Amino acid sequence: GTQLCPKEKLDIPVLFMPDTMKTYKAVVVIHVMRENGENWPYEDSAELKKDLKSSVTIAENGGIQGILWIYPVHGIPEAPQQKLVPAVVRCRARQRVERRVEVLLTGVVPGANAMPAARNSAVVNTNKPANIQEEVQVTPGFSTTVEFLYELQYRSNEIKSHLGALVGINLIQRERDTDSGIITLIFNIVFAPNKPIRNEATLVVQCTTGGVWKFPMLFIATEPEVDDVINIEAVGLNKESIVGFKLTSQTR
């Protein structure tokens, strides 16, 4: 029963209050009718019923009684953003390092939302064995064919262009606590910087049944090792001494 003047705008609030980490779907339907109750004339009623039956309501006389706008709404719950300690991956420039990063997902199982506050973060674990054999059916990026999806997000495209090619991530193991329902994911992070940098990123994990978890990360590349020490021996006062050395570029 809301009346709109010509070219007037109407805001339609949609409230989303999920109680479980899963995707919810709904449809917002807007039905518009003339204020005077008259129909919009339409000559070919048979063609109207064929092509526009899902977006209009047809009167008995064949005219258009109302027009429908249908908007699908997908509600994807996101875990509360807490002040998590970033998982730090540190490496010297021009070297390569691998680290295990462990994250905890709460709410995957309905009713299993409690977790120790001290472990509510992404943790760099260097004690995990390197020969983990468990095979996990997951792939990076967002698709709907796997159970867990993940990617690294950066604050800007500039940071992504600098850091994206230097960092590799792979999910190698997942565990579930049968008592609490909390799921632990263990990622292998490869960091191979070519120059000193310090950039932040966010590890985003999504479950195909719904729910998004975000974990802060910090990548630090320190100064590289000195390539060589060049000694120039003086031949005398006020005389030039020359030494030659070669530089090799790693790119064209």
CATH topology for the 77-110+146-225 domain = Immunoglobulin-like (2.60.40)
Q: Residues 245-251: what's their mean pLDDT? A: 84
Q: Residues 185-201: what's their mean pLDDT? A: 94
The answer on pLDDT for 202 being more than 90 is: yes
Give residue 74's pLDDT: 93
| Better pLDDT: 14 or 118 | 14
Question: What percent of the chain stands above pLDDT 70?
Answer: 80
pLDDT, tens digit (0-9, with 9 covering 90-100), for 157-186: 988 888 888 999 999 988 888 888 788 999
Residue 20: CB partners within 8 Å, gap ≥ 6?
A: 77, 107, 110
Helices (H) and strands (E) in the chain, counts: 2, 11
The whole model's pTM is what? 0.67
Residue 127: CB partners within 8 Å, gap ≥ 6?
A: 100
The answer on pLDDT for 220 being more than 80 is: yes
Provide the pLDDT confidence category of residue 221 given band limits of 50, 70 and 90. very high
User: Where are the domains positioned within the chain?
Assistant: 24-75, 77-110+146-225
Beta-bridged to residue 101, according to DSSP, are 124, 187
* CA atoms of 59 and 25, how far apart (whole Å): 30
CB neighbourhood size of 52 (10 A): 14
Give residue 51's pLDDT: 60
In the structure encoding, which two tokens stand for residue 211, read together?
A: 């729910």
pLDDT, tens digit (0-9, with 9 covering 90-100), for 94-144: 999 999 999 988 877 654 444 333 333 455 554 444 333 333 444 444 333
Provide the pLDDT confidence category of residue 83 given band limits of 50, 70 and 90. confident
Phi-psi region of 94 (alpha: psi -120 to 50; beta: other; left: phi over 0): left
Give residue 242's pLDDT: 92
